[in-house]
Amino acid sequence: MSEELDRKPIDDLLARASSAISGAGNLDSLERERVRFLGRKGEITSLLRSIGDLPKEKRPAFGDSINEVKEQIQKLHDQRKAFLSRDEGDGDFCMGDPTLPGRRMISGGRHVLQKVLAELTNIFFGMGYSLAEGPDVELDYYNFEALNFPVDHPSRDTQDTFYINKDILLRTQTSPVQIRYMEKHTPPLRIIAPGRVYRNESPDPSHAPEFHQMEGLYVDRNVSLADLRNDVTHFVHAFFGPEAKVRFRPHFFPFTEPSAEADMTCFVCRGSGCPICGRTGWIEIAGAGMVHPHVFRYAGYDPDAYTGFAFGLGLDRLAMLKYGIDDIRRLLANDTRFLRQFWGETGLEVLE
C-alpha cells in the first residue's frame, strides 16, 4: 500500500459539492445541497466516519483534509446564499417589478455660460485664434497702468474696482491678459482670453458684481481697422446669424486708439426699434479698437513695427441676448430649475 494519502474521495466530494452549489437556482435547492453535503447525515459526515477504515498513522492527515474541504464548501454555500438572497429576499434587495418602465436618470449638464463660451471659442479657433488666460487676482499694474490708465486718472473710477491693497485687485476686465501675453510672446499673435471679472456694482437685472468677458487681441505687421471689422462681423454672423448687421461707433478706451463700440442690429425687431434695443434698432456687443502705442511700449513691443486690434465681449450679455435671459443674476444663482432648460435631452450634448 502506498504511503501517500489517497485524496481522491475528498477531491471528488469538493468537486461535486461546488458544482451542485453553484447550480442551485434558488434558496430552497441551495438548502437541499447544504443538507446533502454538510448536514449531520451528509457526505462530509460519512467521509469522516470512514476514517476508522484507515491505518492509524494516516487518520490525522485525512481528518485535516476533510475539515479543510468542509470549510471550503461552507464558504461556497455562504457566497451562493448571499447572491441568491439579493434576488429573492425582501427589503433592500428587492428587484421590484421588472415590467415597470425604468426610472429616468437625472444627469447634470453644461451651464449656459459654458455653452456660450464653447460656441465662441469654436468660432474664434476657426479664425486662427488661440486661448490665453490670466489670474482673477491681478496687479494694478496689469489691470490699469500698463493699459494706459494713468494713476489717479478718472477713467479708473468707471470700473468700480475691488482693491485687495493698493497694488493688488480683482481684475475689472480681461484686458490685462493682453499685456501678460505680449510680455511672453512675439508677434504675430492672435488670442482670445475668456474669464471672470469683478466690479463693485449693486446687483440689478443687468449688473452683477462678478461677470464674464472675453478679450481678443491680434498683433502683427499692418493689422488695420478693416481686420477688426472683419473678425467682429464674422463672429456676429456665426453666433447670431448672417442677417445681423454690424456697425462701429467712436468711443473712448485708454488702451486703444482709435476706440469704438460695436453694435449689431437688434435680433428682435431687426432694426426698427423695440423695448429690447431701447428703440434704437441696435444692440451694443463689444468694445474694441487699435492697440494704443503706449500699451505696446509697456509690453516691450516697438509701436513703429507692429499694429494690432483688441476687442472685449461681455459673455453674460451675449448669453442673455442669444437665449432671451432677462436677468444677469440668473447666471450666477445655480438654480437648476432655470439652468436645466439649456441642458438638452441628456445633458451631455456635444457641441460641434
Interface positions with ligand DAH (CB under 6 A): 173, 175, 215, 253, 256, 287-289, 310-312
Q: How far is the CB of 342 from ligand DAH (least distance, A)?
A: 25
Residue 289 to residue 310: CA distance in whole angstroms: 6
Nearer to ligand DAH, 37 or 149 (CB): 149
Nearer to ligand DAH, 248 or 342 (CB): 248
Reported in sequence order, the residue ranges of the chain that DSSP labels E, i.e. its strands, are 130-131, 137-139, 168-170, 189-198, 210-220, 246-253, 256-265, 282-291, 307-314
Q: How far is the CB of 276 from ligand DAH (least distance, A)?
A: 21
In this structure, the chain runs to a length of 352
Q: How far is the CB of 352 from ligand DAH (least distance, A)?
A: 28
3-state helix, strand, coil in the chain (%, to 5): 45, 20, 35
Nearer to ligand DAH, 30 or 310 (CB): 310
Nearer to ligand DAH, 173 or 343 (CB): 173
- Cell numbers at 16, concatenated: 461535486
Strand arrangement, sheet containing 210-220: 130-131, 189-198, 210-220, 307-314, 282-291, 256-265, 246-253
Q: Which residues contact 308 (CB under 8 A, 6 or more apart)?
A: 187, 217, 218, 219, 220, 223, 290, 291, 296
Q: How far is the CB of 142 from ligand DAH (least distance, A)?
A: 12
Q: How far is the CB of 116 from ligand DAH (least distance, A)?
A: 17
Residue 328 to residue 203: CA distance in whole angstroms: 9
Nearer to ligand DAH, 33 or 215 (CB): 215
Nearer to ligand DAH, 175 or 307 (CB): 175
Q: How far is the CB of 100 from ligand DAH (least distance, A)?
A: 55
